[in-house]
Amino acid sequence: MLPWWVLASAGGYAVGGLIEAAAGPLTGVAVIGYVTAGGTVAATLQWPALRWHVSGAGRWVAGAIVAGAVVGVTSIALGVVAGLGAGAVGDADAGRAFGADVAGVSAAVLYGAAVGVMQWRLLRRRFTRAGRWVLASAAGWIVAGLTAGIAEGIAGWAVLGAVYGAITGLVLVLLLRRRESETPAAER
């Protein structure tokens, strides 16, 4: 399961890189669209591995989409407020640039946690200690973001997805093993 999970994550987020290559470089608020698109494709590719272990796994993809939308709206709102504040103190152009940066950074920080919470809602029905998923998703996204600069373009996005997939995949494998060890042999 782990190799598939890592490849699915890398491939999904590489789609974010393809969109960036087609639409333009990653700047400010654009990160939200690229990340949500990549996250949605990654979740779609993760679904086949997950569906054998979690009933209702089709909602996994919906969780990624909803998380992207929530983070998008929240990040844009934070960016607008920060931009207006900075524009009131300095010049308007500097305020807009600062607001776009705040939106991009907040999206990067919030995305992993938001996806983790949405997907946790599905996992908690099947796994004890599923709350670890939220921590793994948040930490995975932050660590992945720090490693994405190793490569540029589509390769950078694939690295981001692979790192995120490795961290979350390890936690998922541990959750699956724990559930199997707690299930009586007669029920397996």
Q: Quick one: CA torsion of 94, 97, 101, 103, rounded to 10 degrees?
A: 110
Residue 162 has a pLDDT of 95
**Residue at 171: amino acid letter:** V
Calpha distance 73→92 (Å, rounded)? 22
Calpha distance 187→104 (Å, rounded)? 47
Below-50 pLDDT ranges, the chain? 183-188
Q: Which of 162, 161, 176, 169 is nearest to 136 (CA)?
A: 169
- Answer yes or no: pTM beyond 0.75: yes
Residue 5 has a pLDDT of 92
Residue 134 has a pLDDT of 94
Q: pLDDT tens-digit profile of 70-80?
A: 888 888 788 88
Residue 110 has a pLDDT of 85
In terms of phi and psi (left: phi > 0; alpha: psi -120 to 50; beta: otherwise), the region of 184 is beta
**Residue in the block written with tokens 């990549």:** 38
